[in-house]
Amino acid sequence: MASEIQNERLRLYLEAEKAVLSGQSYTIGNMTLTRANLSSIRAAIDSLIAGGAVLDGQADTRGMCKRVVFIDGR
């Protein structure tokens, strides 16, 4: 199970991704600057999810299984 720190990092990276997708590039004169690198953010998100990080309210169902046993009632 992921720690609270990993879950918080995942939340922050998802917010950063949203900000970048909303347009964090800007132009000054003839230079275009980007405040964050989307591919780096996506790599961090993927790594945190692979490590078990979840958002609040999401169940971590990895590794869980269910067994169904049928009983013949004759």
Q: Two tokens at 41? A: 């953010």
Read off the pTM: 0.62
pLDDT class of 7 with cuts at 50, 70, 90: very high
Which are the contacts of 18, defined by CB distance < 8 A and separation ≥ 6?
none
Reply yes or no on whether the pLDDT at 2 is more than 70.
no
Residues 23-61 pLDDT 10s = 777 788 999 887 788 889 999 999 998 888 888 766 555
In DSSP terms, 26 is beta-bridged to 33
Q: Is 41 exposed, middle or buried (0-12, 13-18, 19+ CB in 10 A)?
A: buried
